[in-house]
C-alpha cells in the first residue's frame, strides 16, 4: 500500500513541477519526475517541511523542477 501512495504523491509532485516549468510530457513522466525529484531535492535541500508518503513536499517539488528543467534542456523540442 505504501508504494501506491508513493506513486500518487510522485505524480502530484511531478505535475506541479511540470506546470512550473511548462513541461507537458504525460502521467508517466510526472511520476518519474516526482520520485527522482524527491531524491534529488531531499539530497540537496534536506527533508524539511511536511512529509507525505516518506517524501518531504517542498524539497521534492524543487528537486522535480530541477529534474524537469534538465530533461527539457537535453531532450526539449527545437524551435
Residue for grid cell 501512495: 5
pLDDT tens string, the chain, 79 residues long: the values are 788 988 999 899 999 998 888 878 888 988 998 899 899 999 998 888 888 888 888 999 999 999 988 988 888 765 5
Q: pLDDT above 70 covers what percent of the chain?
A: 96
Helix (H) and strand (E) counts for the chain? 3, 2
* E-state strands within 2-68: 51-52, 55-56
**66, 39 Cβ separation under 8 angstroms:** no
**23, 14 Cβ separation under 8 angstroms:** no
Amino acid at each position: 500500500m505504501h508504494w501506491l501512495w508513493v506513486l500518487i504523491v510522485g505524480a502530484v509532485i511531478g505535475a506541479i513541477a511540470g506546470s512550473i516549468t511548462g513541461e507537458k510530457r504525460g502521467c508517466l513522466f510526472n511520476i518519474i519526475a516526482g520520485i527522482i525529484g524527491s531524491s534529488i531535492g531531499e539530497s540537496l535541500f534536506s527533508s524539511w517541511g511536511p512529509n507525505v508518503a516518506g517524501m518531504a513536499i517542498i524539497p521534492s517539488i524543487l528537486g522535480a523542477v530541477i529534474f524537469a528543467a534538465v530533461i527539457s534542456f537535453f531532450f526539449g523540442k527545437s524551435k
